[in-house]
Amino acid sequence: MSDCITIFFEAWEIGDADSRLAKLIASVTEAISYDDPRTPETINGISALNNYVGMFSASAPGWSAKVVKTDVVVGVTRVTVAFGGKGADGSEQIQLGQYFVEKEGDRISRMVGFAGTGQQS
């Protein structure tokens, strides 16, 4: 799957700001609106989003963000993403996140993310 959502999460593992920005431009609208538990307020626009995603790649070098599941209901896509890489102890770690995505055409216009998948452990 190489749709805008997959392209968006590919950007999370790119350290170079210009290369990351190119992925974001290919996947989101200019007026993108993004929220998740780590954003104290809504991130608006590609430039601000590039800075935010860059913090992930800088603080978790070598980690990836892979789409593992999607489904769509009335134009909203629910996406489960596996963030993974080596932890401080050298072992492989996976953290799941879930996102709700709205699109305009073939690009993401709004995204709201949650830590975990909402399932009780």
Question: Which domains are seen in the chain, by residue range?
Answer: 4-115 (3.10.450.50)
What backbone torsions phi and psi does residue 40 show, to the nearest 5 degrees?
-70, -20
Two structure tokens written together for 35 = 């929220």
Q: How confident is the model at residue 51 (pLDDT cuts 50, 70, 90)?
A: very high
Measured in whole angstroms, the distance separating CA 81 from the mean position of its chain's CA atoms is 8
Alpha-carbon separation of residue 24 from 64, 75, 91, 121 (angstroms):
15, 21, 30, 33
Q: How long is the chain?
A: 121
pLDDT digits (tens, 9 = 90+) for 65-75: 999 999 999 99
Residue 102 clears pLDDT 50, i.e. is over it: yes
Give the gyration radius of the chain's Cα atoms. 14
d(CA 87, CA 85): 6
3-state secondary structure at position 4: helix
For 83-97, the pLDDT digits (tens) are 998 888 888 989 999
The rounded distance, in Å, linking the Cα atoms of 26 and 24 is 5
